[in-house]
Structure 1
């Protein structure tokens, strides 16, 4: 729950930033000054990029949460637990030992979002955030396609 509150605070802060920068951009655009107009156009680009990034991250979080809940209801979440070091990082050898079976499941059925989600959880547990997000993004994309069929 505290993660959701943190995300809500960051999202609200970013939305406020977008609104304030957008307001400043509008003031500069309507100033009638050439330099002000150019700066206003440049400032309009920043809120657009920020809004896109905010939408992308929030939609990723909502999608990942939805799939996690659905997989938990199906009883399909991984049951293995990795031993953690005092730093909180998992023991790499344990995670490495689990990868072949998870990878084989994904290779056996690359269109099954459940396999992608499970391997994403394993990557996350191993501390590889980039691959974890990529695998979970694949799971979200595949599950959406499955719902549309």
Structure 2
């Protein structure tokens, strides 16, 4: 039985600890790269200055990419929470093989319905969200991420 305090506390996302650890390791690596970049720039040699500037820019690019991924993950979680509260989360009821793999023909059939729904209402973030999970079930992770990004933009 859960106490009222436990019931009201929000549970941390499953992968949060791993994401934080990897991000901290990446920050440590970035700090080391920036240090080397500054040391190269201080030499005064043209080639090392150019490499040093590149070494300073690389961690910035990585930070921007990480920030964008955190933003997407946060928005996707908010969308999932909203859909869960309304009882409209995508349901994974596709048939599976004994090994646990989703039946490809069933995934393709389900995908068609979700794609058609997006075609009918391309401004609905919820339909794009559902399409993303249909892409994922069909094994197309690249398009699944693209559909999640579109859902996030519309949200």
**Preserved CA contact (<8 Å) 1:18 1:51:** no
TM-score between the two structures when normalised by the length of structure 1: 0.85
Q: 2:121 & 2:84 partners in 1: Cα distance?
A: 20
TM-score between the two structures when normalised by the length of structure 2: 0.82
Which residue number corresponds to residue 146 of structure 1?
Answer: none
Q: Of the candidates 46, 52, 55, which is equivalent to residue 43 of structure 1?
A: 55
Q: 2:84 & 2:77 partners in 1: Cα distance?
A: 10
Q: 1:51 & 1:86 partners in 2: Cα distance?
A: 42
The alignment covers a number of residue pairs equal to 143
Give runs of ≥4 in structure 1 deviating > 4 Å.
Answer: none
User: Comparing 87-96 with 30-39, which one deviates more in the overlay?
Assistant: 30-39
Q: Of the candidates 100, 111, 118, which is equivalent to residue 99 of structure 1?
A: 111
Mark the runs of 5 or more structure 1 residues left unpaired by the alignment. Answer: 144-149
**Preserved CA contact (<8 Å) 1:89 1:127:** no
Q: 2:99 & 2:66 partners in 1: Cα distance?
A: 30
Which residue number corresponds to residue 122 of structure 2?
Answer: 110
User: In the TM superposition, what are the counterparts of 1:22-33 in structure 2 within 5 Å?
Assistant: 22-33=34-45
RMSD: 1.8
Q: 1:88 & 1:45 partners in 2: Cα distance?
A: 44
User: In the TM superposition, what are the counterparts of 1:30-109 in structure 2 within 5 Å?
Assistant: 30-109=42-121
Q: Secondary structure at the match of 2:15?
A: helix
**Preserved CA contact (<8 Å) 1:29 1:37:** yes
**Preserved CA contact (<8 Å) 1:90 1:127:** no
